[in-house]
Amino acid sequence: MNIIVRENYYEMSKHAAGMIAELIRSKPDCVIGFATGGTPIGTYKELIRMHKEEGLDFSEVKTFNLDEYLGVGIDLSKPYNLDQSYARFMHEELFKHINVRKENIHIPDGLTKDPEEYCKLYEDEIKKAGGIDLQILGIGGDGHWAFNEPGSSFTSRTRVEALAQQTLDDNYEAFYKKAGISREQMPRYAITMGIATILEARTIIMLANGSKKADIVAKALKGPVTTDVTASAIQLYKGKATVILDKEAAAKL
């Protein structure tokens, strides 16, 4: 695992975007796994800049997102801060600004009528696309990757997962409080890629920034490999893993 520490969030984001751009340039029809949350927003901003100023071309790129809230769908008639879906997040923070084709975008369908069957289909879609070349990952305050909450098996695949209390608290503070959405109205379940699904990606980039992540980053990268911290699965990963941190997130390594 290659751990890269950058001075600040902007430099961390620029480094990650540079690696993604390099893949797109060398394999224009690559398959990229995207994450949502606060961490990758700077990376997406830099990708948008590269698209607009340097002509970075997403026209053949296929995308698969890690997760989506169950029971939640994109609703463009609502203002962005009241649409809780990850589909909306990706639309606003990246997809609407670049030339990725709609039919190449895959985000779990939070409104599916048959989640169990749907999760199998999502796995099939990834296989049909030839597998994920590069998976972008954040890390949750409880050490989760995607929504693989503590206790999730390392052999888990795409499925419905109940959100842990810490994730609900983190999400409330980061997004819902500002939007005036109460804790009761927050989604409590999500469709998430499993740890085994993630470990099959050919390369991964994990990002973390800020002092709030320092303890959990140290646990995941240097602590015991345990399903209590599902991101510690990175230590079992067989492909090329790059961890890009800002100084604050790297402070406890």
Q: What is the DSSP letter of 107?
A: -
Binding window for ligand F6R (CB under 6 A); candidates: 3-11, 69-77, 111-119, 133-141 = 133-141
Is 143 an interacting residue with respect to ligand F6R (CB under 6 A)? Answer: no
- Residue 37 region, left (φ>0) first, then alpha (ψ -120 to 50), else beta? left
Report the alpha-carbon distance of residue 153 to residue 59 in Å, rounded: 36
Give the tokens for residue 207: 């990002």
Is 39 an interacting residue with respect to ligand F6R (CB under 6 A)? Answer: yes
- If the CB atoms of residues 28 and 151 are measured against ligand F6R, the closer one turns out to be 151
Selected catalytic residue, list 46, 149, 200, 246: 149
- If the CB atoms of residues 139 and 204 are measured against ligand F6R, the closer one turns out to be 139
Cα 70 to Cα 143, 156, 181: the distances in Å are: 21, 18, 17
Is 146 an interacting residue with respect to ligand F6R (CB under 6 A)? Answer: yes
Among 12, 35, 70, 245, binds ligand F6R (CB under 6 A): 35
State in angstroms the smallest separation of the CB of 115 from ligand F6R: 17
Is 38 an interacting residue with respect to ligand F6R (CB under 6 A)? Answer: yes
Among 33, 138, 187, 194, binds ligand F6R (CB under 6 A): 138
Bridge partner list, 31: 62
Binding window for ligand F6R (CB under 6 A); candidates: 54-62, 100-108, 143-151, 156-164 = 143-151
51 is catalytic: no
Cβ–Cβ under 8 Å, residues 192 and 146: yes
State in angstroms the smallest separation of the CB of 66 from ligand F6R: 4
Cβ neighbours of residue 175 closer than 8 Å, sequence gap 6 or more: 84, 181
Which strand ranges, in their side-by-side order, compose the sheet holding 67-69? 67-69, 189-192, 159-162
Cβ–Cβ under 8 Å, residues 253 and 218: yes
170 is catalytic: no
Among 14, 24, 33, 36, binds ligand F6R (CB under 6 A): 36
Is 174 an interacting residue with respect to ligand F6R (CB under 6 A)? Answer: yes
Report the alpha-carbon distance of residue 231 to residue 213 in Å, rounded: 12
Give the phi and the psi of residue 170 in degrees, each rounded to 5: -60, -45
Q: Which residues bind ligand F6R (CB under 6 A)?
A: 35-39, 66-67, 138-140, 144-146, 174
